[in-house]
Every structure is written in structure tokens, then in C-alpha cells.
Amino acid sequence: MRRVYLDNNATTPVLPEVLEAMRPYFSEHFGNASSIHHHGQGTRAAVERARESVAALLGCRAAEVVFTSGGTEGDNLAVFGVMNHGVMNHGLARPGDHVITSNIEHHAILNACKHLVAQGHEVTYIPVDGRGLVDLADVKRAIRPNTKLITIMFSNNETGVLQSVAEIGKIAAEADVYFHTDAVQAAGKIRINVNQIGCDLLTISGHKFHGPQGVGALYVRKGTQLEPMLYGGSHERSRRAGTENVPGIVGLGKAAELAVAGLERGDLRMDDRKMAAARDHLERELLEIEATGLNGEGAPRVPNTTNIYFDGIEGEALVIALDLKGLAVSTGAACSSGAIEPSHVLLAMGLRPDRAKASIRFSLGKQNTAEDVDFALGLIPETVARLRELSPVYNKAASSELRAASNQRSARP
Amino acid sequence: MLNSETIAVAMSGGVDSSTVAAMLRAEGRNVIGLTMQLWNQRRLAGHEGMPESVQGRCCSIDDVYDARRVAETLGIPYYVVNHEERFERDVVRPFVEEYLAGRTPIPCSLCNNHLKFDQLLIVARQIGADQIATGHYAQVAFDEQLNRWLLKRPADKSKDQTYFLFGLTQEQLSRTLFPLGGMTKPEVRELARKHGLVIAEKPDSQEICFVPGGDYKRFLEAYLNEQGNTSADVAGEMVGGEMVTSDGKVIGEHAGVHNFTVGQRKGLGVATGSPLYVIQIKNDTRQVVVGKDEELYSRTLRARRVNLISTAELRQPMRVAVKIRHKHQPAPALIESAGPDEVRVTFDEPQRALTPGQAAVFYDGDIVVGGGWIENSP
């Protein structure tokens, strides 16, 4: 069976160049990057080259890049690192420290914030409008004398909607508050420059842009006061203890290089313009299906993501039906059992729960082709039609809408 | 039988449904494994009467893990589908409301009617399966003479689950397979071992899946506590009342009708010379009527919301055997129509503890004629 993967916001395939770059660092160049001998020096050099590549992707200095195990660790390190700074001297949680975040963040931020509250900190959740955007005035208003950190994501994982992070950066700078942005879903898809954003901390994850899983980086602006989360050796300038994941870091570096090249020149594969064109084509065609709509309409978005609701269906059933036909897409967030729960992001945007559950995310990667999009477009309309035909809800909704329409007609003089 | 290629198996992670998947796979059928996520055990943790960490069986991560392992072993696609909202609406709330109204509910039947053979069957059909198979011990067959789908008792009478399946419609039965209907439990376990399934030795589950440790009173308290006790959606709350004898004499107080089941002897909180039993629970006055064992027996009952299977309607009275609780030996009786969806049951011999909220299921030999819900007043 032909299989097409349009779930690249979940993870992406490692590009062949990335795999090649990593390959020597498993058994050939295996040294511990902290060792002083020849073997250690070889891997140390590789780690530092990767650091420069990541710095080039983010527009920062290499010394400001801290390698992590991925997006969740980066987000946690940023949040707890700032909020618990000085824990060694003062003990945990000076009461009253305050964080501002949004209610559409990834759970790596939301659950970290829950934990902060349990520690005695305070959290303000900024709402989003129907497009999925936070109001900058809300962010400004939320700032208090004890506010220590603003953490608002760059691009949303479910909708691809981009926040005005540079404006938030200005607000944070004026208030002299740390600003962290979760850029896991932006890296490799749009240009990122930490100085233009004005952030102090920024999280990326390798596997979201064709690097390996289990490796990521946190940008930490020089001078930022950050408590480590892992205690041990003095790796990563004492920001993150633990022997470096050298093959992973090398892969992340290579993926960053390829991303920069793709964004600047457009390489042989899908660059961001081609990707946007393919995404737009997919989106346009899907919106031709009756009773559908775009989530995040009217907001700027990354070029690879589209999130569409198909009224009258369970997104869960559509995902399964499509998977059985060879198309991988996704909906909402999976809970621990793997069952799907209605998306907190779409609910925060004001979608009715049934519509949130009827929403599907399609996300493209560099490996996708125009034929992949055609394959998807060949499957989705008939599958949606089958689901609706068998849905008691859709038939009822459709007939009640018809009734409402005919009542309206008959009510007219 | 429908000539269909793809069958969805409702997999719980237990030995029965896992073996069903293995059997159908071995037959060369195109099998999809589905597990319903119905209830979050951690939800009531820390509420009134519940410990901080709740150990329950229903939809636990371990069960899903087991089902996934089995699907992997068999090489079949496997998915978890979330039906928590429907489960709470159609099973948990009615369960709570029935107890608060002084009845003794059967959530398994509601789950079969509203979830397994309704929602899950819809999903199964939506994703391309025409039939659903479960690990129930029961048999389904089409009778050409009657032109109806029949539900029958299984070969292993000790595992008979037809009592919980009386609500199935002709449409549902036409799309259902019970592959274990002709097997005994030891045979099923043996087959599970033969297929190398990791769950072959897993113990059977007995209790109500969403009630940890089978303690329904603790569950009710925790659920009402979580709902804020004043939730308008829950019909009542736990209100105490009088304990009276059948001739109306008040002999004590009780803390809530949900604590009692018709026929119950222990925990009445009144001391008298002779043993006392709950005879009746009066929802309108919140009175619990107690009396002697012989007062528990009666010959007639009225079954409401009746579903008929082997016949489209009851035009004439019919001789059947009627089962009034899961462990009850079906007793000879006459059934006759008593209005739309209602049936009057007259037993040959008086039966002990006809319990409102339980089901009365009618059998003609091994064939399930139909069944309904036992009401308060006969």
C-alpha cells in the first residue's frame, strides 16, 4: 500500500544528509566530548561545529546555544531555570513571582506552569482570539511588578498560527522581564532571528525539522540568569549536565544547516515557497468540501500547516479511516492511552467542542511532493462523505439546518 | 451473513477479546483492533472517599498496553477511540441517578446498548469495517423462517452474557460476531496460549469496570463530590429517610436510598429479633421498607423499555423462562404485552427479590426472546 505522511508537525523523517553526518559518531568517532585525549577532541570539535550551525539558524552566538534532549526539556529549562534561579541560595520559590503565558501553549509549557503554581508562583494565561492570536494589549496589561517571565510560543503546533513575537519581545524589554518563546514549530519553516524577536530564551527541537529525535537546543541570551534542571558535570557551560548526545547534536547541526540553506536559497527539495504553494493547494481543495472551514483563518501561519474542520464527523474516526487507506494525519492531542481529546488550542480559539473534535491537522515536510498532496486529495473527500453518511449527528444537523432554512423561507412575507 | 472483508474487534486487553482477534486473524479475515477509552480512573482520585491514587481496571493504561501488544503480535492495525463523553452521559450518570432513585442499575447493559454496539459500531463502519466482533459469550444467528437475527445462549452456560445483551437491535445483531459463543473459557485460554498471546493467563475481570474495587457507594460519593453535589444534571442527591415495616411502622432512619438493594439483609442499621430484609425502596417518600424473607417473594413484574429479538411483537401471551438478575436461574413465566414497549411477566412460582433497575430477560430455551427493565410497581 502506498503511504503518504502529512503529519510533519508530529515528527519529520531524518534527511539522508543528516543521517550521513551522524553515522561516523556512533562507533568511529565515539569519544566523550569532555575527554582530553584525541578521541574526546574529535567529538568536542563536532559538537562545537554543530553549535555554530544552530547559532546560524537562530542568529545568535554559538556560546548562547545549550543542547538539550528536545522541545520539552528546552521549555522546562527555560521556565524552571528562570523561575527557580537562585534556588541554591534562597531555597525554592520566593512567593509571588509571576509568569505570563498563553492558553494555547504546548503542554511542555502549560504543565510546567501548573507545577510552578504548586511551587507557590503565579501564572497568568493570556487568551487568544478566533484567529488564534494573543492581543498584545493583554500581554502588556498582565505585567506586574513581580512578573519575571513571559513565555509565549512562536508558531502553534496545531494551527501553525504565528504570534507577533517581536512585539512581545519589545513589551518584555520595556518591562525588563525575561521573554521565552517556544519556537519548536517555527524552526526550519520560517526565518528566526533572536535579536529581531528580542527574546532571552528560545526553544527548538531537532526532529521537527528533519533532524533526529531526542535532541534540541535552548537559546539562552548571554547574561540570562538560569538555574539548571540537571545537576552533574559542567557540560554546556554548567547549564545542562550530562554527557553530550554527540550523534544527535551532529544531526541537529546538519539539519540546521540544511534548514538555513532551504530558507535562504531554496534547495532541490521543497523550500518554503513551494511548501506554501502545496499547502495552499491542499487547503483550497479541502475547503471545497461542504461544511468545512479553516482554523486560524486571517492569522499569519507557517507555510507547512493547515488545520481544517469537517462538520459532522469525529476527527478521530477520520484519522483512523485515512490511516487505513495509507494517509497519515492527526487531530488534537493524544492522552496517555493514545485516545484523542478535544484540542485545548481550538477550544481556546472559541470553537464549539464538536467542531474542535471534527478538526484535522495536515502538516507538510521537505520530503513531501505535489503527488503526495494529490494522493491526499484523492482520498479525503470520499472518506469524509462516508463518515458523514454513517453519522447520526451529521444527518440530524443537516436536516435541522434545512428545517431552519425552510422555516425562515416560510416566515418571509 | 454479510459477506464482508473487514471486521473490527472490540479489544479490552483481556483474554477473551484478544483471542477473538487472534481467531479472526487466523481465519484470514481483515481485522482492525479497537479499544474504547471510556473513563479516566484518575478523575475521581482525591475526591470524597477516594484515595489519591485510584487503582481501577477500566481503561487503565495497562489494559490498553496489553491490547496494543496483542495487536502487534497479530500484526493488525490497532487504535484507541475516545468515548468518555458518551460513556459518562449514557452509562455513568444513569448509574448514579438510578441508585439515587432507589434502583439497582446494570451499567454493562447500558454500555452494550449505547457504546459497544452503537458508538463503536458506527466508528467501525466509518473506518471501513462492516462488522464488529466482541469477546462476549453469546451466539448470534440468522433464522430464515423467522426472517430475524437471533441471540442465543453460548455453549459455556457458566459464562453466559446474554443477560447483558438483550437490548441489541436487529440491525446491531446483523453486524455482530461473537466468535467465542461455541467455546468454553478453558478452551479460549488454551487458544490464547497457542497463539502466543501475552495475556493468556490474565485473570478475568468481574466488577463494574469504572467502580474501583467494586465499592459503588464510595464511587457515588466521589462522583457527587466532584460534581459539586448540586449539579443540576444529576437528578437528586443522597437524602436520608425513614426505615419502615411493610405495615407502615417507622423503626429507624437511613442515610440514603442508594445504600440499599431489594433483598439486602446486612447493614440495615436496625436490630430486631428476626432477620430483616429490604422489601421495597420508595423513591417518592425516600422510605426503605423492610420485612421478613417471605415478603420478598412475588409472582408478577412489569418490564419497561422492552426490546424484542426473536419476534417483532408479542401478539399473544407467550410461555418463556425469565431471568431477573445475572446469577438468577431463569424461572418459567408467562409474558404478555402491557402497552407500547411494556411487558407483564407472571411467574409460575413466586420469585425472590424482583429488583427495580435490573433487567428481566425472556428465554425460549437457548433463544433470547427479548427483555426489559424491571420497574418499581408490578
Dihedral over alpha carbons B100, B101, B102, B103 (to 10 degrees): -100
Residue B2 in this model has a pLDDT that exceeds 60: no
Q: Which residues of chain A lie closer than 8 angstroms to B64, CB-CB?
A: 337-338
Give the rounded distance of the alpha carbon of A28 from its chain centre. 34
**Distance, in angstroms, between B52 CA and closest chain A CA?**
16
Question: pLDDT of B152-179, one tens digit each?
Answer: 999 999 999 999 999 999 999 999 999 9
Write down the mean pLDDT value for chain B: 90
Whether A390 and chain B come into contact, CB under 8 Å, resolves to yes
Residue B92 DSSP class: I
- pLDDT number for residue A95: 64
CB-closest option in A338, A341, A386 to B126: A386
H helices of A265-310, in order, are 272-286
Q: Kindly report the nearest CA distance between residue A386 and chain B, in angstroms.
A: 6
Q: How many CA atoms lie within 13 A of A280 on its CB side?
A: 8
Rounded to two decimals, the ipTM of the complex is: 0.86
Taking CA–CA distances from B58, the nearest residue in chain A reads A337
Residue with cell 475521581: B44
Residue range B299-323: mean pLDDT, rounded:
96
In this complex, do A320 and B123 lie within 8 Å of one another by their Cβ atoms? yes
- Confidence band of B294 (pLDDT split at 50, 70, 90): very high
Contacts of A390 in chain B (CB under 8 A): 122, 125-126
Residue B79 in contact with partner chain A when CB distance is under 8 A? yes
Q: What is the mean pLDDT of residues B83-90?
A: 92
Share of chain B above pLDDT 90, in %: 69
CA distance linking residue A316 with residue A331, whole number of Å: 7
Whether pLDDT at B235 is above 50: no
Closest CA–CA distance from residue B206 to any residue of chain A (Å)? 22
Residue A330 carries which DSSP code? B
| Domains of chain B listed by start with CATH number | 6-214 (3.40.50.620), 239-291 (2.30.30.280), 297-374 (2.40.30.10)
Q: Which of A313, A341, A390 is the closest to B82 by Cβ?
A: A341
The closest of B163, B116, B118 to B138, measured between CA atoms, is: B163
Low-confidence ranges of chain A (pLDDT < 50): 267-269, 402-403, 405-413
A82 shares contact with chain B (CB less than 8 Å): no
Residue B231 binned pLDDT confidence (cut-offs 50, 70, 90): very low
CA distance A233 to A229: 12
pLDDT digits (tens, 9 = 90+) for B30-40: 999 999 999 88
Residue B248: predicted pLDDT:
87
Mean pLDDT in residue range B331-351? 96
Q: How far apart are CA B310 and CA B169, in angstroms?
A: 10
CB neighbours of residue B264 within 10 Å: 18
Active-site annotation of A, residues: 335
Confidence band (pLDDT; 50, 70, 90) for B55? low
- Rounded distance, CA A312 to CA A330, Å? 17
Domains of chain A from N-terminus onward: 4-9+269-411 (3.90.1150.10), 16-263 (3.40.640.10)
pLDDT given at position A305 = 96
| pLDDT over 60 at B49, yes or no | yes
pLDDT tier at B310, thresholds 50, 70, 90: very high
Q: Name the pLDDT band for B186 (thresholds 50, 70, 90).
A: very high
State the pLDDT at residue B211. Answer: 87
Spell out which residues of chain A touch residue B172, defining contact as CB-CB under 8 Å.
none
> So what's the pLDDT on residue B378?
45
